[in-house]
Structures are given as C-alpha cells and as structure tokens.
C-alpha cells in the first residue's frame, strides 16, 4: 500500500489492488490510530483519529478530492497512484 502523502505526522495511503472495495477511500495513520476516509463524502467510515488530526485530514481530502479520485482510478486498474501534495 503506497504512501501518497504525509503531513503533520499523518500518513496517507491507498491500496493498489484491482477492484478494491468501494466507496473510494484512503487509509490514514497517525501514531497508534488508524482510520478509513471516504473520499467522495469526505467523512470517516472506519477507525478513529484525534479530533484535531481528523479536521486536518478532512480539509486536505476536500482540497485534493479530484486528485484522490484520479489516484483511486489508477489503483483500481492495478497502477501505482501518484503522490499528492501535503497541506502546508
């Protein structure tokens, strides 16, 4: 599962498995916490993150939604997704 972005100690990854289950989503890691974020709805669908980190991740997903969905399509075709710029 390649890392597509990192910022503020948060690691964002996306599986590159063809036919990965929907909805389009990312896997987010921060210290001992893990969460799955729905890209289209911009909401947490599994796991947990500290509230301040969740707000940062959701803001990033909203800003990068088009790039994330393009990466999702690549991953669905078994291709490696591109890196996406972090929050600055």
Whole-structure pTM value: 0.91
What mean pLDDT comes out for the span 62-70?
97
Sequence spans of domains, the chain: 3-76
Residue 83 pLDDT grade (very low, low, confident, very high; cuts 50, 70, 90): very high
Check whether 19 has a pLDDT greater than 70.
no
Concatenated DSSP letters of the chain: --EEEEETTEEEE----TTPPSSPEEEEEETTEEEEEETTTTEEEEE---HHHHHHHHHHHHHTHHHHHHHHHHHHTTPPPPP-PPP-
């Amino acid at each position: 599962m390649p890392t597509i972005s990192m910022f503020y100690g948060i690691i964002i990854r996306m599986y590159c498995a063809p036919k990965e289950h929907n909805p389009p989503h990312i896997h987010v890691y921060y210290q001992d916490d893990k969460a799955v974020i729905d890209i289209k709805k911009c909401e947490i669908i599994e796991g947990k993150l500290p509230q301040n980190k969740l707000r940062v991740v959701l803001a990033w997903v909203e800003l990068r939604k088009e790039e994330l969905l393009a990466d999702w399509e690549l991953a669905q075709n078994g291709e490696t997704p591109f890196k996406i710029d972090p929050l600055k």
